[in-house]
Structure formats: C-alpha cells, structure tokens
Amino acid sequence: MRRANSAACLCALAALLPAAACAPQTLYGPEVSMGNGTARTFVTTASERPSAIGLVLSEAALDGLPPHRNRTSRCWDLDGNGRINDHDECEGDYQHALAFPDDVPNRGDIPFRWLGLNWNPEGHEPEAWSTPHFDVHFYMATPAEIDGLGAGPCGFFMDCQDFERAIKPVPGKYVHPDHINVKAAVARMGNHLIDSKTPELAKEPEPFTHTWIFGAYDGHITFYEPMITRAYLESKPDDCVPIKLPQAWERSGYYPTVYCMRWLPDAREWRISLEGLVLRKGE
C-alpha cells in the first residue's frame, strides 16, 4: 500500500488520528534587526493550506528606531551635481527586505514572494500620513523586478519611463473601485492605489491609525500593503479589518480577506498579518 505523504490526506482521517495531526503549524523566516529588537516573517498552515501570512515584531523592535529621515540609503543624486538634497532627492524611509520561510507546504499557492518593511520616522505625503508609521509591503513581484524600478525625476524619485509604466491603469476587475490611481509611483517600489474612502483623507478627517493600499506596475497588482502607525501598535491592538476585495484575481493563489494587527502578550510581540485566506482562480 502506498504511504500517504500529505497532511491534507491524513486530516481526512481525523477520526483515526490525534488532533495534533491537523493542528495549525507556524514557520518563520530569518530574523533581521529592527530598532532594539527583531523582525521576521511567518506563515501559518493547517492541513497544508495557508491560514495566515505576515510579520512578527519583537517587543523591543519599536524602541530605538531612527527618529529622523533616512539621508543615505534611500537617496539618489537626481540632478547629477554630486550632492544629495535631503527632501528633493531622498525618499526618507528605512527599508528592510525579509524572506518568507522556504519550507512552507505548497509554497507555490501563496502569491506573496517576500516582504518589504519600511519605517517612516517622519511619515510621507500626503499630510494625513506624515506621522511615524510602518509600510508593510507583501510583494508579488520578485526582488529583482522591484529593484529594477529605477530612480529619476518623475513621481516620487522614479525613472520617467518606469513611472509611465507604473501608472498604467489596472483593469477594473482586479482592484476595488474605492482604490484610486493618484500616480503615487515610488522608485524601487511601484505605484500606490489608495483607498479614497479611508477616514484620514475625508473632508473631516480622523486621525491616521492604519489603512490599506494596493500596489501596481504596468497594469498589474504587484503588492498588498497595510500602513500602520507606531502609535497604533503601541496601543497593543487586537484587530482585524476587512479588505476591500476586487471582483477577480489575475493569478491563482490564496488571497486574504482581512488584515490583522495584534499584540500577543504571552509572546511579547506584535503580529501584522493577512488572514482569511481564500483560494482564488486567476482570470
């Protein structure tokens, strides 16, 4: 008799197996330094199907963060004068690239390839987002593709040819209609389709705590992004927010229906995650 290798098959025989055989399992990516602590990715699966994918910040990660704009590694001499002008030639954020664990069952069914974590100590445009916050990019494009989006004078420090490709409209079925193209295309990142109904951008705005963005390039969705203030994380939330879903997905895979922000007191860590994963068929 052929031996069954799949936990999914085993769990179909749950009545004959210990409960642990079908219990969720969490795998972690390699740690990187963040503030006085660490950051790492995680993927939780059950029966070989992903149930959550996200970021872990240790308790000390929010302490010791740079308090001022990055004036070195996210800067470009755009006018070629041999000098860097802080506000005209620096993005101002601090970027960390994090790998997801590579031994996740059925890894190919998860469309997110890596995670870009950006710390913005002085926020960024528009004014509503000028408070210290994290941008958490769940990239579907490869690191090489993102790194290839060159710097230049268009948009937010973007090469002008790349900028024109970045702002190319995404077919309407692949993005929720509330998310609009304001041509917020950034070098080494892509375009940002912002939620026009997010409370901090209303005529009578509420304080910015968190929001959701779809990233795009050349007419394709290339990343999912929750933006979250440090102050909101320091409030130690336990919150999940519905994602405004598109009508269709371009490529098949497990996609989230909510994003979550949680403080785990026993582990003394924060988790920012995509959850409620549903297998979608690409169109």
Tens place of pLDDT per residue across the chain (283 aa): 333 344 444 444 444 555 455 688 999 999 999 999 999 999 999 988 999 999 999 999 999 999 999 988 888 888 888 888 877 888 889 999 999 998 998 899 999 999 999 999 999 989 999 999 999 999 999 999 999 999 999 999 999 999 999 999 999 999 999 999 999 999 999 999 999 999 999 999 999 999 999 999 999 999 999 999 999 999 999 999 999 999 999 999 999 999 999 999 999 999 999 999 999 999 9
Residues paired with residue 225 on neighbouring β-strands, in sequence order? 213
The confidence score (pLDDT) of residue 79 equals: 85
For residue 67, is the peptide bond before it cis, meaning its omega torsion is within 30 degrees of 0?
no
The confidence score (pLDDT) of residue 13 equals: 45
The confidence score (pLDDT) of residue 9 equals: 43
Q: Identify the CA nearest to 91 among candidates 138, 147, 157.
A: 157
The confidence score (pLDDT) of residue 55 equals: 98
Q: How far is CA 249 from CA 34, 132, 135, 222, 253, in A?
A: 33, 32, 23, 12, 9
Read off φ and ψ for residue 15, nearest 5 degrees: -65, -20
What are the tokens at 34?
């963040």
Looking at residue 60, the DSSP 8-state letter turns out to be: G
Q: How far apart are CA 274 and CA 23, in angstroms?
A: 19
Q: How far apart are CA 28 and CA 114, in angstroms?
A: 13
Q: In the chain, what's the furthest Cα-to-Cα distance?
A: 73
Q: Identify the CA nearest to 30 among candidates 91, 102, 83, 90.
A: 102
pTM of the full structure: 0.91
- HSE of 214 in the Cβ direction (CA atoms, 13 Å)? 29
Residue 174, helix vs strand vs coil? helix
The confidence score (pLDDT) of residue 48 equals: 86
The confidence score (pLDDT) of residue 21 equals: 53
